[in-house]
Homo-oligomer: A and B are copies of this chain.
Amino acid sequence: MHSMQFTAESSSGDMLERDFVVDGAPGVLWSPAADVADRAPLVLMAHGGGNHKKHPAMSGRARLLVTGCGFHVAVIDAPGHGDRPRTAHDEAEIAELFRARAAGEPEGPIVVRYNDHLAKLAVPEYRATLDALGELPEIGADGPVGFWGINMGTAIGVPFVAGEPRIAAAVFGQHWPDVLAEHAKKITIPIEFDLQWDDEHISREEGIALFDAFASKEKSLHVNSGKHKELPRFEADSAVRFFARHLGRPITSPA
């Protein structure tokens, strides 16, 4: 049992937003406003590096899942992100990343090691969040659960999903294989994986190597032209359709 407390509640259009804290990690749970008490599948999301749980990329994806499919969607702030304090280690790693970026040096080695550090802290937090959310009657402990995280969300999500049998389908993408490939080899659930073909940080070979590492019988790689931050919006629609297929929830409004 984990201590979960709801700390705030608001709604916007068709979507109810409830802030919560689980074991000290601040999170947000989005649900269909009209059917909040109806049991529906949960999609856990993880945000990207330097962002936070309510970044527009998170709330926008949540809106597609909640209003398009009736899912519940939850995100927690990663350690050192959003409403959470930065440690001296966080500050040092971020400074090193900015230094490398300014010097035109590769970001990969720093991002890989820093995200690995954060993932080791975040994985038990995601597990505790899933435990706690499963105690809510509108989610339940036995329903299928999805996971959606790109960039740092993949660095946290791949080790989390590798050790988490409750996750039934996952969308990942845009990270290096160095640390993650070993975890990916243990993952057998359906995967959709996003990769940018002209990524200035992650080479094509690195991106494909991580996709290749998943043991999943059913896996899809979506490559798009464009740089690291140019992942097209329509990949969010595609991810929603992926979760609708695998979590058994028809799309009720076309996106």
Check A241 against B250 for contact (C-beta < 8 Å): no
With A253-B254, A254-B254 known to touch, is A221 a contact of B219 (CB < 8 Å)? no
Residue numbers of A with Cβ under 8 A of B are 197, 211, 216-225, 232, 234, 237-238, 241, 245, 250-254
Of the candidates B217, B221, B237, the one whose C-beta lies within 8 Å of that of A221 is B221
B contact residues around A245 at 8 Å (CB): 234
Among residues of B, the one whose C-beta sits closest to the C-beta of A214 is B225
B contact residues around A254 at 8 Å (CB): 250-254
Jot down 10 A-B pairs with beta carbons below 8 A, ordered by A. A211-B223, A218-B225, A219-B224, A220-B222, A221-B222, A221-B223, A222-B222, A250-B254, A251-B254, A254-B254
B contact residues around A221 at 8 Å (CB): 197, 221-224
B contact residues around A211 at 8 Å (CB): 223
Give 11 new A-B contacts, CB below 8 A, not counting A220-B223, A221-B223, A254-B254.
Answer: A197-B219, A211-B223, A216-B225, A219-B224, A219-B225, A220-B232, A221-B222, A222-B222, A234-B241, A238-B241, A251-B254
Cα–Cα, bound, A220→B218 (Å): 19
Check A223 against B225 for contact (C-beta < 8 Å): no
Cα–Cα, bound, A212→B200 (Å): 17
Residue of A216, A223, A224, A232 most packed against chain B (CB within 10 A): A223
B contact residues around A220 at 8 Å (CB): 222-225, 232
